[in-house]
């Protein structure tokens, strides 16, 4: 049976706090945000920069809880600058029946990357 690749979780409109080219790669995200979205460390994520249109795939690493840190590292650091607004998304494969019932987790944040409201499933 075929599976569908579905949006599983999204951190919506994060503000980049850093861009470090002298790191081997990834995006560092406050571990409170990762937990709220259900994204685990080293999971592949898509990063969409709403400020400049850049898009990339990398993996998430945990930054200190409560820090508000969202930092592009390595080559990805060339795709954004502090202050840029980004969306971080993860996807998962699901069987057809599960995919049709699925609602992704969406976490909204304030300008300091604190959680604006509790993570909730996207409205249909």
Instruction: State residue 121's pLDDT score.
Output: 52
pTM, rounded to two decimals: 0.91
Instruction: State residue 118's pLDDT score.
Output: 57
**Tens-of-pLDDT digits for all 124 residues of the chain?**
789 999 999 999 999 999 999 988 799 999 999 999 999 999 999 999 999 999 999 999 999 999 999 999 999 999 999 999 999 999 999 999 999 999 999 999 999 999 996 555 544 3
Instruction: State residue 124's pLDDT score.
Output: 38
Distance CA 102, CA 6 (A): 8
Contact by Cβ (8 Å): 108, 12 = yes
Is 59 part of the annotated catalytic residue set? yes
CA distances from 111 to 42, 65, 74, 93, 100 (A): 25, 16, 24, 32, 33
Instruction: State residue 51's pLDDT score.
Output: 98
Catalytic-labelled residue, pool 31, 42, 51, 59? 59
DSSP string, 57-83: EEEEEEEPTTS--EEEEGGGGGG--TT
Q: Which residues of 82-94 are buried (b: 16+ CB within 10 A; e: fewer)?
A: eebbbbbbbbbeb
Is 26 part of the annotated catalytic residue set? yes
Instruction: State residue 123's pLDDT score.
Output: 42
Catalytic-labelled residue, pool 26, 51, 90, 108? 26
């Amino acid at each position: 049976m075929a599976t569908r690749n579905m949006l599983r979780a999204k951190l919506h409109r994060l503000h980049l706090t850093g861009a470090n080219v002298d790191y081997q790669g990834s995006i560092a995200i406050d571990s409170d945000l990762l937990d709220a979205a259900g994204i685990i460390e080293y999971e592949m994520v898509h990063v969409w920069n709403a400020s400049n249109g850049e898009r990339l795939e990398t993996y998430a690493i945990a930054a200190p809880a409560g820090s508000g840190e969202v930092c592009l590292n390595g080559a990805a650091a060339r795709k954004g600058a502090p202050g840029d607004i980004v969306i971080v998304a993860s996807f998962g494969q699901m069987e057809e029946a599960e995919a049709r019932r699925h609602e992704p987790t969406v976490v909204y944040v304030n300008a300091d990357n604190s959680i604006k409201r509790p993570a909730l499933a996207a409205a249909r």
